[in-house]
């Protein structure tokens, strides 16, 4: 038989077996390859990167240094609001009154007025867009 002539299923079966063997060998090599260290650079004074499922720290830089919470507290406020929105105990149309304490708060502001009734939707915008300390106090 010449090249290109059929030899039954023997040639096809041998080629299929060869491809399967190569695929298995490649898979084994990929699984056996050592894990690569993350090459991360940052200008941040402190940083930590964790795997959310396992809690494994993937990268850290001065992770144990004390630092002010800054807007991290706003993120916690947002988390609490979104949880309540999700469970239906709060709606975007609900309103809250602005206290004098919220109005007097320094730092970044949404510039709400004392006694005004502000919707959750607007307070969320004030927190997320303007980083409003006053909006966080109203919503808390």
Residue 86 CA to residue 32 CA, distance in Å, equals 44
Residues facing 118 on adjacent strands: 96
**Catalytic-role residue among 17, 43, 74, 101:** 74
Residue 138 CA to residue 113 CA, distance in Å, equals 11
Residue 127 CA to residue 101 CA, distance in Å, equals 16
Q: Would you state the structure tokens that stand for residue 105, as one six-digit string?
A: 């708060």
User: Does residue 9 sit in helix, strand or coil?
Assistant: strand
**Catalytic-role residue among 17, 71, 89, 101:** 71
Q: Is 89 a catalytic residue?
A: no
**Catalytic-role residue among 99, 108, 119, 131:** 131
Under DSSP, the state recorded for 57 is E
Q: Would you state the structure tokens that stand for residue 110, as one six-digit string?
A: 């949404």
Q: Is 71 a catalytic residue?
A: yes
The set of catalytic residues is 71, 74, 131
């Amino acid at each position: 038989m010449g090249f290109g002539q059929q030899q039954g299923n023997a040639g096809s079966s041998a080629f299929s077996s060869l491809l399967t063997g190569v695929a298995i060998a490649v898979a084994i090599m990929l699984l056996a390859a050592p894990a690569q260290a993350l090459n991360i650079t940052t200008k941040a004074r402190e940083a930590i990167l964790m795997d959310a499922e396992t809690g494994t720290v993937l990268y850290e830089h001065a992770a144990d240094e004390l630092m002010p919470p800054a807007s991290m507290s706003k993120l916690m406020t947002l988390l609490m609001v979104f949880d309540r929105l999700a469970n239906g105990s709060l709606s975007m149309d609900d309103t809250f009154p602005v206290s004098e304490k919220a109005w007097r708060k320094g730092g970044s502001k949404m510039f709400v007025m004392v006694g005004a009734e502000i919707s959750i939707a607007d307070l969320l915008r004030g927190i997320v867009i303007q980083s409003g300390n006053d909006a966080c106090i109203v919503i808390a």
